[in-house]
Amino acid sequence: MTQNVDLEADIGDVLLTEEVIAAKVRELGRQISADYAGRSVTLVSVLKGSLPFMADLMREISLPLRIDLMEVSSYGGATTESSGLVRIMKDLSASIAGEDVLLVEDIIDTGLTLNYLLRYLRGKNPASLRICTLLDKPARRLVDIPVDYVGFRIPDQFVVGYGLDFGERYRNLRFVGVLRPEVYGAAD
């Protein structure tokens, strides 16, 4: 499609192909199914970036499960100037008290968002709270948080695709790629 061709032109290198991602998601699904065997689990997807990963991952988990969605504001977004504090833009739709919860993230970078989310979710008294991320980028990690399931540990590059965006674009790419520096330099 023309639009995706335009988007792909902005990609320097393909870091993770669609096939590689799919294989990893299957692997994670099997692992999660084994670890939670005999139980049900609530997958909490952190919008918006984790949406494709969540959709694929949940179908690889052979367990009774619920899904729920959350969204938190990001620094630099519209809410930054108005409040100066991270906000829950969309909260859980149901209680997680007593539930086994698996937080599904697209990428863990500084760990600041995850740190905030974990504190928030622990306050809702889940029976357990684990973390699954497709991508782990530790180069600028400020908050060291043990992550239970990691798809890929990636180098210090700005990546987009498979849910990850730059300026709300590129989320619909089927792969994870490295954005060409001219693209984000040109956006200044």
Binding letters toward other proteins, positions 27-66, x by CB under 8 A: ----------------------------------------
Interactions with other proteins, residue window 118-137 (CB under 8 A)? 119
**Tokens 């086994």, residue?**
100
Structure tokens at 22: 């799919």
- Tell me how far apart the alpha carbons of residues 109 and 68 are, in angstroms, rounded to a whole number: 22
What is the closest distance, in whole angstroms, from the C-beta atom of residue 57 to other proteins in the complex? 23
Binding letters toward other proteins, positions 79-118, x by CB under 8 A: -x---xxx----------------------xx-xx-xx--
- Tell me how far apart the alpha carbons of residues 166 and 186 are, in angstroms, rounded to a whole number: 12
DSSP state at residue 98: T
Which residue is catalytic, options 68, 109, 144, 156? 109
Q: Does 187 bind other proteins (CB under 8 A)?
A: yes
Q: Does 142 bind other proteins (CB under 8 A)?
A: yes
**Tokens 């990609």, residue?**
11
Q: Examine the residue annotation and report whether 109 is marked as an active-site residue of this protein.
A: yes
What is the closest distance, in whole angstroms, from the C-beta atom of residue 53 to other proteins in the complex? 18
Q: Does 184 bind other proteins (CB under 8 A)?
A: yes
Q: C-alpha angle with apex 82: 79 to 88, nearest 5 degrees? A: 40
- Tell me how far apart the alpha carbons of residues 179 and 158 are, in angstroms, rounded to a whole number: 6
Structure tokens at 97: 């008290």
Structure tokens at 36: 């939670």
Interaction site with other proteins (CB under 8 A): 74-77, 80, 84-86, 109-110, 112-113, 115-116, 119, 139-144, 156, 158, 167, 184-185, 187-188
